[in-house]
Amino acid sequence: MADTGNSEAIAAAFADGPAYVPYLAVGDPDYEASLEYVRALDRGGADVIELGLPFSEPIAEGPTIQGALVRSLDAGMTPDRFFAFAEELDVEAPLVCMTYYNLIYQYGGSEARSASDASGETASTGPRPFVERAAAAGIEGLVVPDLPAEEADPLREACDEFGLDLVFIVAPTTVGDRLDRIMSRVSGYVYVQARLGTTGARSDVSDQTTQSLDRLAEYDVPKAVGFGISSGDHAERIVAGGADGVIVGSALVDIVAEGVEDDLSTAAVADRLEALSRELKAGAERGHAARAEPAESR
């Protein structure tokens, strides 16, 4: 599978055993606490960490993650502070940035615009400056929920230029030509949306997940299942069902939100994040062991 990926660290994260891929919104509820929370995920066994860069109109998120993004924005998060955060983190797991296309598209745009205004040319915005800055900050991949494969070529090129993976989301309703179009552009891993709808923690496992994994079996890219995974048992069943990894967001964000509501200390919230991470990671490993014949790098 290494031939489809740009990031060696992400490939390695999926190479030996199931990957636990937690998500948190960076800067939720503030910069300093958020640093501690992401480090707790790393201690808890994260193989890849997805860092949410908040956009003001997150159309793909449910209320839980939307709440986190609003808290982060209210606390002053910006793309530049996000990159500073990634540089300051110093964790073992490779970092993937999850954000919306307008922030990628606009990055460096105001400088480009004032420069081009001076030269009398039209503005040159585009994804390249963002990807260049992300690479410099140690980001190894991007997930952009509102960027369909059809519009993704400029970003794909920039990611290839700077060695980042570009992760796409595949929904239960993604079939046929659309699936091929996405799978021909994906790298690192494919984010398998476990069910229709937006993000949010739920307790059951969906048939849609199994069907999606079956459809994806022929593609040589790691499959990480996300949307609604909230417990170790849940992660176990997902991995036993054929996933190469589990992506967990809302269940972790819920812990941060409770910390805000109940006014808990940063350390207390970090402990809970680390504990849930251990549970999820252990569940994923049980699921992997339970597979009848674990397929080594198909």
* Minimum CB distance to other proteins, residue 268 (Å): 27
In whole angstroms, what is the distance from residue 138 CA to residue 54 CA? 18
CB 77 within 8 A of CB 31: yes
Contact 160, 154 (CB under 8 A): no
Nearer to other proteins (CB atom), residue 102 or residue 266:
102
> For other proteins, which is the closer residue by CB, 87 or 92?
87
Among residue numbers 22 through 61, which ones bind other proteins (CB under 8 A)? 55-61
- Residue 199 vs 230, nearer CB to other proteins: 199
- For position 151 contacting other proteins by CB under 8 A, the verdict is yes
Residue that has been written with the tokens 């809302």 in this structure: 250
Of 8, 32, 61, 218, the catalytic one is: 61
From 91, 196, 105, select the one nearest 142 (Cα to Cα). 105
225-284 binders of other proteins (CB under 8 A): none
The reply on whether position 116 binds other proteins by CB under 8 A is no
Which residues make beta-bridge pairs with 193?
226
Sheet containing 19-25: give its strands across: 165-167, 139-143, 95-98, 49-52, 19-25, 245-248, 223-226, 190-193, 169-170
Question: Which region holds residue 242: left if phi is over 0, alpha if psi is between -120 and 50, else beta?
Answer: left
Per the residue annotation, which of 50, 236, 274, 285 is the catalytic one?
50
- Whether residue 293 lies in the annotated active site: no
CB closer to other proteins, 17 vs 148? 148
Q: Which amino acid is at 244?
A: D
Strands (E), the chain: 19-25, 49-52, 95-98, 139-143, 165-167, 169-170, 190-193, 223-226, 245-248
- Compute how many residues bind other proteins; rule: CB under 8 A: 47
- Our finding on whether 78 is near other proteins (CB under 8 A) is yes
CB nearer to other proteins: pick between 105 and 162: 105
x/- string (CB under 8 A) for other proteins, residues 84-103?
Answer: ----------------xxxx
- State yes or no: is 61 an active-site residue: yes
Q: What residues are annotated to the active site?
A: 50, 61
What residue ranges bind other proteins (CB under 8 A)?
Answer: 55-63, 66-67, 70, 73, 78-80, 100-103, 105-107, 109-110, 113, 123, 125, 145-148, 150-151, 168-174, 178, 182, 193, 196-198
